[in-house]
Amino acid sequence: MAFPPLDFSKDRLKLLDQRKLPGAVEWLECRTAEEVVQAIRQMVVRGAPAIGVAAGYGLYLGIQNFEGRREDLLKLLEEKAALLKEARPTAVNLAWAVERVKKRVLSEKSRSADELKIAALQEAEKIREEDDRLCRAIGKHGARLFKAGETALTHCNAGGLATSGYGTALAVFYTLQEEGKAVSVYATETRPLLQGARLTAWELTQSRIPVTLVCESSVASLMRAGKIKRVVVGADRIAANGDTANKIGTYGIALLAKAHQIPFYIAAPSSTFDFSISSGKKIPIENRSSEEITEGFGKRTAPAGIRTENPAFDVTPHKLIAAFITEKGVLNPPYSKSLKVLRLSNDS
């Protein structure tokens, strides 16, 4: 079952407000690049592929109403691209999508301003269509790693809501279900914003895939009891050596999986690999507001004035990752070889 988190029509980007799930299904309409930036920052839309798709449309919205010379439109394009890329720093898909749309516009050398706007929209649409195909390919490759009836763990939300509609990590489970080899899933709450409880559990329940919601603090006990056979999570940025940034808490789960000899997989499209950085040490980590911890969902749960640290992501070293599940296949260690092949295929 697909869960598209966005829709674009009549020069308006409609975003499923993921802050309201599972209690309400509400859509937020964006008509400008600035409104898309705010929606990304406030996590109306989230998940690396999804914010990339949204940002691609956002760049088009930033220039759609321009009237004037081609040269002035290109200046405006640069301004809106810079604005969008600053919306959230960790997920590489955002900047990748913005740069891709910008590159398409700049490649149209002899086109008028109106034709350049059409080119921007066409490229944004292409990114969305490609993401759906890539996610379905990820699902097919990942499903081959599983046996029918196995129980897997996932962290945060890497489902349809985090992509164009089909997911990365959850795409594996959707494909298994379609193939008649359904597995059952443990989903962590994913504190402090509870993406696992609010989004992943909702998606899987809607798809009639058996899901059990657990606190992150219970993962070690579940693994020791033999209740988890595999772990599949998504990613927001993957360095050239395979070090992977994902939702905070992923690193701890990877350590536990290693200790219990449980395969730990990353499911992500090739666009999530950032070959411009050598290791996870260079991945910027977004720090979010203290209120997400002290006043979660509007109710204070901590003393006023308490110091907090609220990193949104952590980095899992590549040595803890059993394989990467991509649209181009399953990449196994040594990553110095398999990721080099992926990089070459991306460049070709």
What pLDDT does residue 110 have?
75
Q: How far apart are CA 60 and CA 146, in angstroms?
A: 41
What pLDDT does residue 348 have?
67
Q: How far apart are CA 168 and CA 330, in angstroms?
A: 13
Tokens read off for 197: 């409880």
Q: What is each CA distance from 277 to 250, 271, 340, 345, 346, in whole angstroms? A: 20, 14, 13, 18, 15
Q: Place domain 6-135 in its CATH homologous superfamily.
A: translation initiation factor eif-2b, domain 1 (1.20.120.420)
Q: How far apart are CA 169 and CA 155, in angstroms?
A: 9
Reply yes or no on whether 72 is catalytic.
no
| pTM, entire model | 0.93
Residue with tokens 């489902």: 159
Angle (CA) 36 77 120, round 5°: 75
Tell me if 256 sits within 8 A of 316, measured CB to CB.
no
Question: For residue 331, what is the DSSP state?
Answer: E
Residues in the chain with pLDDT < 70? 1, 348
Q: Return the CA Rg of the chain.
A: 20
What pLDDT does residue 314 have?
98
Q: How far apart are CA 298 and CA 305, in angstroms?
A: 16
Distance of CA 111 to the CA centre of its chain: 34
Tell me if 149 sits within 8 A of 155, measured CB to CB.
no
What pLDDT does residue 17 have?
97
Domain-wise residue ranges, the chain: 6-135, 139-347
What pLDDT does residue 268 have?
97
The CATH class of 139-347 is: alpha beta
The stretches of 234-279 forming alpha helices (DSSP H) are 250-259
What is Dmax (Cα atoms) for the chain? Answer: 67
Q: How far apart are CA 254 and CA 262, in angstroms?
A: 9
Q: Closest Cα to residue 32, out of 6, 68, 58?
A: 58
First and final C-alpha spacing in the chain:
33
Strands in the chain per DSSP E: 6-9, 12-16, 27-30, 151-154, 184-188, 211-214, 230-233, 237-239, 244-247, 264-267, 273-274, 313-316, 323-326, 329-331
How many residues in the chain? 348
Catalytic residue among 131, 236, 274, 314: 236
